[in-house]
Structure 1
Amino acid sequence: MPLPALAELPQLTALSLAWRRLVEIKPVLITVTNKRLVCCWDKGGRWWQRVVDWPDGVCRDGVPLQREAVGEFIADLIFDCDLPGAELVLCLPLRAAAWCVVDGYGLDGAPGVLPPTLPSVDLPFDLAESYVTSSPMQDALAVVGVPRSLIQGWSEVAELADLPLRRVDWSLTAAQRALQQLTQAWQGDLAWLVVEEQSIRLVLLRQRVPEVDHLLEADEPVACQREIRACVAAWQAHVATPPPLGWWFSVKTEQADQWLPLVDRAAGECCLNQPLPALAESWDEAAAVDVLSPFQHLALLALQQEER
C-alpha cells in the first residue's frame, strides 16, 4: 500500500490552512442587494471582483433572512476564491439604515463618539433599538443608526461562516466619502441625485455638509424633475445669495440623458460627473464588471481606498 505524500496528509493540510489564515489576513469588501452579492479583494497587488446571485429569499434590504444559508453561501464563496485570511467588510444597502446631521459639534469630535445630548434630538431611528455611529462634518455631526437586529444577524452570519466581521458601513455615507474626494475642487453647493433599486433620493450639501435628504414621491420622469427643482428652490431660499450649484448623478449611463435637464446652466449650474476610477477586474471572465450601479461603485471605491 503506497504511503501518502506529505502534502496529502490531512494534518499538514489543516496546519497549512491555519497558517495561511494567520499570515494572509485581508479585507474582503462585500455589498449586498436583494438579488446579488458583490465582493472585492486585493490579491497580488490587483483588485478582483466577483458577483454571485443570492438563493431565492435569503436576503432583503440588507437583512439576512436565512442566516445559516447566508453564512454557508459566503463561506463557500470565500473558499472558492481561495481567501483563507478573509475579514469581511460589509456595505449595507440604502434601506438598511437611517441618518441625520446634528449641528454644532465641530471638527474636534472623534469619529464614532456620540454627544451626550443625542437622546434629546429628533432622530429618524429608534435610539434604543439601534447601533449608532457618527462622523464629524465641518461644524456638524453625521449620525447613522442601524437596527440592532440587523447587526446581530450579520454577526451570526459571520460566525456561521467562520469569518471575522471586520467592519460594517452604510452605502450612502461610504458613497458620500468617495464623492467628496471626486468633487474636492468644487467650491459651491452640491446636488446629488441617487437612483438605486427603485428608489430616487436627492441629497443637497452645502460646504460638504448634507442639509437635505429627500426621498422622491413621484416616479414619472417629468414629475420627478418638478419635485426635485421645487426641493432645490426651497433649500436655496434659505440664503440670500446661494452659492453656485453643481450636480452629481449616480444613475445608470443609459439614464443620464433623462436627468441632465435638471441642470439649469442659464443660472450657472453645472454637471460635475466624471468617469469613476476602475474598481477591480472581473474574477469570472463571463461576468460583466459593470454589474455594479454607479452608486454601489462609489461606495465600494471609498471602502477600497480606506482598506488598502
Structure 2
Amino acid sequence: MSWKRLLRAQRVLVAVTDSHLFCSWMNQDQWLWRSGSLPPDCCLDGVPLQQDVIGDFLGELLQDCDLPGAQVELLLPLQACLWRLFEAGSMDGVQSVETARSFLAGLHDSLEPGNFDVSMQQVGDDTLAVGVVGSVLQAWINVVAAADVPLRRVEWSLISALRAVQRSIPDDWIGDLAWLIQSSGQPGCRLLLLRNGTPEVDQSVRSNDDAVELFKTTVQAWRALSGQQPLPLGWLATVADEASIDPARLMNEAAADHQLLLENSWTASPLMPEQESGGLDPFIRLAFAGLCVGQS
C-alpha cells in the first residue's frame, strides 16, 4: 500500500454525521463523491463512540473508491464544536484565546478550559472562536488513524460551509440572511441569522415539530433589535429531508421574505449514481465547497 500511496497521492474530503460518512475527491477535472451508512450506534451527537469501527468503515470505503493514496481532510460533525462571535474591541490580542476557551468551556457542562482546543479567525472586524473538546478531537484523529490513511487537515463542517455561503452571496444582494440547516440523519435542525455575512444568532432544536414557531419568533426578535427599518431577509435552506421541515413555512410573505439563491459553482457527481438516488446532502455539499474555494 505504501508505494501506491506515494505514487497516487490523492486529496480526499471526508465529512461525517451521526449516521453517514461522505467523501469527495477529484478525478481528472471532475469532483466525485460517495457516501455510506455507518453501522448503528457508532456516533452520537458528533462523538465517535466506536472509533475503530468507523475507521475500518472509512478505510473500506476509500478502497472501494480506488483511492489507495488518500490524504484526508476531515470535516467534524455539526454537533462536535461550539463557537462564539466576539465583537471588535471586546478582547485584546494576548488574552483572546484564553478568554474564548474559558467562555466556550462554560457552555459545555462546565468543563475545565484546558480541555478545549480553540481556533480563532477574523470575520470582518470581529473575531470568531471555534472550540472542540480535546478528547473529541483526538477521537476523530484516531478514527482516521484506524483507517490507515494520512490526516492532512481538520476543520468544523459549519465553518467550511459558512465560508462557501459568504463567498456565494450574490453581489447585488443587500439584506440579512436566514440559513436553515438540516443534515442527513441528524435530529432536529438549526437556524443561523447572518448580517453582512457574519453569524449573529445560532439556534438549534432537536424536534422539527417545534422548529417553525420557535424560529419565527427568533427571527422577529432579532430583526426588531436593530432599531432601524429592517433590511430584506433572504432565506437559504440546506435541508436533506424536506418532508421533515418545509422552509416555506418560515418565510414571512408580508415582510417580502424570499428564497436566496447562492452563486456557488462547485459541483460533484456521484461515483455510483444507482446507489445515491437522493443526491449529495445539501449541507455537506456546501461544506465540501468551502474546502475547495480557490482550488481546481
Is the TM-score greater than 0.5? yes
**Corresponding residue of 1:199:** 188
- C-alpha change, 1:68 and 1:273, in structure 2 (3 Å) is same
Q: 5, 20, 28: which one pairs with 1:44? A: 28
**Corresponding residue of 1:189:** 176
**Alpha-carbon deviation of 1:225?**
2.8
Aligned partner of 2:123: which letter?
Answer: M
Q: 245, 259, 266: which one pairs with 2:233? A: 245
Cα deviation digits, residues 154-212 of structure 1 (max 9, x gap): 22222232211111122222211111122142221111112232212221111111111
Within 5 Å, give how 1:85-234 maps onto structure 2.
85-104=69-88, 115=97, 117-119=99-101, 121=103, 124-125=107-108, 126=111, 127-185=113-171, 186-196=173-183, 197-216=186-205, 219-220=208-209, 224-234=211-221
Point out the more displaced range, 274-283 or 260-269: 274-283
Aligned partner of 1:191: which letter?
Answer: A
Q: Secondary structure at the match of 1:286?
A: helix
CA distance in 1, matches of 2:138, 2:88: 32
* TM-score normalised according to structure 2 size: 0.84
CA distance in 1, matches of 2:261, 2:187: 21
CA distance in 2, matches of 1:217, 1:59: 16
1:65 aligns with 2:49: yes
**Alpha-carbon deviation of 1:263?**
2.3
Aligned partner of 1:78: which letter?
Answer: L
Q: Is the 8 A contact 2:33 2:268 kept in 1?
A: yes
Cα deviation digits, residues 195-241 of structure 1 (max 9, x gap): 23221222111111111111237643xx5333222211211222221
Structure 1 runs, 4 residues or longer, greater than 6 Å off:
none
Runs of 5+ consecutive residues of structure 2 not aligned to the other structure:
none
CA distance in 2, matches of 1:212, 1:136: 17
CA distance in 1, matches of 2:148, 2:96: 31
Cα deviation digits, residues 67-121 of structure 1 (max 9, x gap): 2222222222222322222111111221111111111169xx8xxx954543564
- C-alpha change, 1:25 and 1:289, in structure 2 (3 Å) is farther
Point out the more displaced range, 287-296 or 32-41: 287-296
Cα deviation digits, residues 224-275 of structure 1 (max 9, x gap): 3332222112112222213222111222474499321432243233220359
Q: Is the 8 A contact 2:100 2:129 kept in 1?
A: no
Point out the more displaced range, 41-50 or 210-219: 210-219
- C-alpha change, 1:145 and 1:116, in structure 2 (3 Å) is closer
Runs of 5+ consecutive residues of structure 1 not aligned to the other structure:
1-16
Larger Rg, first or second structure (1 or 2): 1
Q: Is the 8 A contact 1:35 1:54 kept in 2?
A: yes
CA distance in 1, matches of 2:26, 2:272: 15
Q: 271, 283, 290: which one pairs with 1:283? A: 271
* TM-score normalised according to structure 1 size: 0.81
Point out the more displaced range, 278-287 or 80-89: 278-287
Q: Is the 8 A contact 2:51 2:139 kept in 1?
A: yes
- C-alpha change, 1:62 and 1:88, in structure 2 (3 Å) is farther
How many residue pairs match? The answer is 286
Q: Which has the higher contact order (CA 8 A, sep 6+)?
A: 2
CA distance in 1, matches of 2:54, 2:195: 40
**Corresponding residue of 1:78:** 62
**Alpha-carbon deviation of 1:29?**
0.9
Identity %: 35
Aligned partner of 1:210: which letter?
Answer: P
